[in-house]
């Protein structure tokens, strides 16, 4: 392993006990123009943007526009862009690939099986993500350990061979921490959160949840919790 890699590994290990602000500052200092915030504009993501914008006003943000996002999601993107004077970069699905899948399988094929749902996520999310990541050395995400059984072991900084470094500044934050920060700092947020949607993705794959349910129960609600990832955060 190279000396640089050893240095990064040591720095990453030291960040486990650090605050989100310290992790984000390290990320921006270490990766400069080759790190961006990957944002779906949920509650965690707008918190990340607010923290990062306080550290560096020219912070870079990208989003995956699947073509099936809720209007409320586009609304908060517009609000964030205006408040922080940023320009969110959009990455969209390949038109030909999407047309072929829809013509062959129908518009709602993702409901038919886990495999087909993952195929849809592959077209609408993974393809655009690959293009978004092609110029990056690192990306910042809003993952928290509390969110799901698939996320309990995430670290602040995660390395993977041949892939950009993944940075998760909010791993230890609770849902209460997130909302306290939003309210205290007057951060714009997706109004679907006020209507029973704690986790928001494509509108066709997201439903309201009851108070007794897990925060991600409304995502791909017809599947078991163990399969509820689209591939963006596959470990």
Specify the long-range contacts of residues 24-32, CB closer than 8 Å, at least 24 apart.
24/48, 24/51, 24/52, 24/55, 24/140, 24/167, 24/169, 25/55, 27/138, 27/140, 27/167, 27/169, 28/52, 28/55, 28/56, 28/59, 30/138, 31/137, 31/138, 31/165
Is 230 part of the annotated catalytic residue set? yes
Whole-angstrom Cα distance, residue 158 to residue 165?
6
- The helix, strand and coil proportions of the chain, stated in percent and rounded to the nearest 5, come to 50, 10, 40
The active-site residue out of 120, 141, 205, 230 is 230
**CA pair distance 137, 8, nearest whole angstrom:** 13
Residues marked as catalytic = 230
């Amino acid at each position: 392993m190279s000396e640089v890699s050893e240095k990064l590994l040591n720095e990453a290990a030291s960040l486990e006990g650090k605050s989100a602000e310290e992790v984000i500052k390290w990320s921006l200092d270490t990766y400069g123009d080759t790190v961006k915030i990957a944002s779906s504009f949920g509650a965690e993501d707008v918190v990340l943007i607010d923290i990062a914008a306080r550290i560096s006003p020219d912070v870079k943000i990208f989003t995956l526009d699947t073509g099936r996002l809720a209007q409320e999601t586009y609304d908060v993107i517009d609000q964030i862009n205006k408040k922080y004077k940023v320009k969110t970069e959009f990455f969209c699905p390949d038109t030909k690939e999407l047309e072929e899948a829809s013509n062959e399988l129908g518009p709602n094929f993702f409901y038919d099986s886990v495999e087909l749902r993952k195929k849809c996520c592959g077209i609408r999310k993974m393809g655009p993500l690959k293009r978004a990541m092609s110029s990056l050395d690192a990306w910042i995400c809003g993952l928290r350990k509390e969110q799901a059984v698939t996320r309990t072991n995430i670290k602040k900084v995660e390395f993977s061979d041949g892939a950009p470094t993944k940075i998760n500044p909010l791993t230890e934050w609770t849902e209460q921490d997130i909302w306290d920060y939003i309210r205290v700092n007057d951060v714009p947020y997706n109004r679907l959160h006020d209507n029973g949607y704690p986790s928001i993705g494509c509108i066709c794959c997201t439903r309201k949840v009851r108070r007794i349910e897990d925060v991600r129960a409304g995502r791909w609600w017809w599947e078991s919790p163990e399969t509820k990832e689209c591939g963006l955060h596959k470990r």
